[in-house]
Every structure is written in structure tokens, then in C-alpha cells.
Amino acid sequence: MGSLRFSLAHLTLLEQSPPELIDIAAAAGYEFVGLRLIPFGLGGEPRYELQSDPRLLRETRRALRDTGVRVLDMELARIHCGVDVKQYLPALLIGAELGARHVLTSVWSGDASFVRDQFAALCELAAPLRLTVDLEYVPFAQVRTLAEAAALVSSTAQANAGLCIDTLHFDRAKDPLRELARLPREWFHYAQICDGPAAWSAEEAHLRYVAREGRLCLGEGGIDVRAILQAMPLMPYSIELPNAQQLAELGPIRFARRCLETARRYIRETLPPPPLGRGLPLHRPTQRGF
């Protein structure tokens, strides 16, 4: 299954700047990275706003050029009250310039009308840049389940809208695999993959902790990642696997390499090879549509 393609998600090594992340990804064997160009807003979170930091932007361009690593997606264009998604346009422009294909979003507002309008507006901003907008649902956010996320994408009726399934969130939301398998295949552009502890609590504090610093390599936890991946089309996989303990023990490069090696081994044993002569799709919209 040599056509499998993997991306190193920024959350896996969030303390690394974009050029550092790219260099680590290259050393560890990844083809892509995901960049957090829009901060989540947590206290103490590093900020990598390339649109306002010319030096960091130059270094990021250098790293991409020198390594051949490409940008798969950018994050995180959150939809939440008091923020107009139009303010994300400078980051979207930079991300598109760097070659990103997808924009990750999630919902942190309970105002259904506001959310629908803002999601549509974000899709409209991204369309001329040939970017898809991929909705990630999170069990401790406002859009918490697969059904809620699918309803939003469907109701928005934007051709470049999609879903990004995170295997940890899918498992914690207790979503039915049959519903995932029924969704339109064109909604899926890439997926975020990891495993998680077999013993877990539905309390928000625990969900947040595992999501941000306690995820596990594929096959080392209690999530049936195999079944989740089999319910979706083959596509690039973004390894989003923050684990504070393993990172401290191994260091960034060895940890990133371990995440990738375990994912490759697990997926080779899990999924059938793609049809001969067909690699995994890299969704790049054309001028005719998405």
C-alpha cells in the first residue's frame, strides 16, 4: 500500500513552529503537514500567525522548498459567537499560497442560524482559493456528533464543504458506523487518526485532556480505528496524536517517526490496497467546482 499518504498534524507537536514542524515531518518520513495558522485561543497556546510575521513566513517557505513536504490543511477556523469568519481571510490566503488544500473548522456556538450562516460564509471565502472547508465535530464543542455535523454540511449546500472525521472524537461520541458509511463519499477529503485509552470518562475535563495530550498510536488503545477507516473512502490521513509523556521521552523527531510507523503498519494490516494504478485522492478543486 505504497500510495498511502500521511500528514503530521500541528497539534501533535504544537510547540514546534511551522518551519520546525516541516523539517521534523521530512526527517520522520511524512509527505504533508497541517499548520495551525489560526490560534484556537487557549491560554499559553503558541501563535504562528504567518500573515503578520514575515520572518516566520520566509522560514516556512524555505522549509517547504528544501524538504519537499507539502501542506495538506490549515486550522483552526472556529465558528464561535462574536467572531466573523471574514477575519480569517488573511490566514486563508497565506495557507493557500503555501499549497494547503483544506481548512479545518469546528463549532463553538449554540446559535444554529449564526452557525449555518458563518459556515456558508467560510465556504464562500475559501472557494476562490480552491480550498475545501472541513467540519470536525468535537464531543465537548457545540456540534458534538456525526449526525449534527452531517446536518450542518447538508443544510449549507456548499460544494466545497466536507467532513473531517477524527477517530478519537468519533469513538467518544459513540457514533454508529452505519451512519458514517451512508454519507456522501465526496464529503471526505482527509481524516485525522489516532487511538485512545480503552478506559475513559465522558466528563468534559477528561475528554479535553485526552484530546490535547493523551492520545495513543494506532493499535495501542481501545478504539476500533479499523472499523472507522473501513467505513470511509481511502484518503490522506493526518496523524493528530498529542501525547505529552511520549513526546518528553522520545523527543520530537523520534516521536513523530513512531506515530507514522505504527500508523503505516496498522493501516497496511487493516485496509485493502487501492485499485491498481489508482493512488489516494488529493482533493484539489478546479475552477468548475468541487
Residue recorded with cell 485493502:
272
What b/e string do you get for 11-27 counting C-beta neighbours within 10 Å, with b at 16 or more?
Answer: bbbbebbbbebbbbbbe
Q: Which amino acid is at 263?
A: A
265: Cα within 13 Å, side-chain hemisphere = 10
What is the helix (H) or strand (E) element at residue 70, kind and residue range? strand 70-75
User: Three cell numbers at 258?
Assistant: 513512531
Identify the three-state secondary structure at position 163.
strand
User: Three cell numbers at 204?
Assistant: 468534559
CA 196/CA 159 separation, integer angstroms: 33
**Is the separation of the CB atoms in 139 and 173 below 8 Å?**
yes
Segment 157-213, tens digit of pLDDT: 899 999 999 999 999 999 999 999 999 999 999 999 999 999 999 999 999 999 999
Residue 290 has pLDDT above 90, yes or no: no
Segment 12-69, tens digit of pLDDT: 999 999 999 999 999 999 999 999 999 987 778 899 989 999 999 999 999 999 999 9
**Is the separation of the CB atoms in 86 and 126 below 8 Å?**
no
List, in sequence order, every residue forming a beta bridge with 75; answer none if it has no partner: 36
Identify the three-state secondary structure at position 98.
coil
pLDDT > 90: what percent of the chain? Answer: 88
Residue 287 has pLDDT above 50, yes or no: no
User: Three cell numbers at 123?
Assistant: 465556504
Residue 282 has pLDDT above 80, yes or no: no
Residue recorded with cell 484539489:
284
**Is the separation of the CB atoms in 134 and 73 below 8 Å?**
yes
**Residue 40 has what pLDDT?**
86
Identify the three-state secondary structure at position 117.
helix
**Residue 42 has what pLDDT?**
77
The structural domains of the chain, ordered by start, are 6-270 (3.20.20.150)
CA 49/CA 57 separation, integer angstroms: 9
**Is the separation of the CB atoms in 93 and 104 below 8 Å?**
no
Largest CA distance in the chain: 49
CA 125/CA 86 separation, integer angstroms: 7
CA 11/CA 212 separation, integer angstroms: 8
Segment 120-153, tens digit of pLDDT: 999 999 999 999 999 999 999 999 999 999 999 9
What's the pTM value of the predicted model, to 2 decimals?
A: 0.92
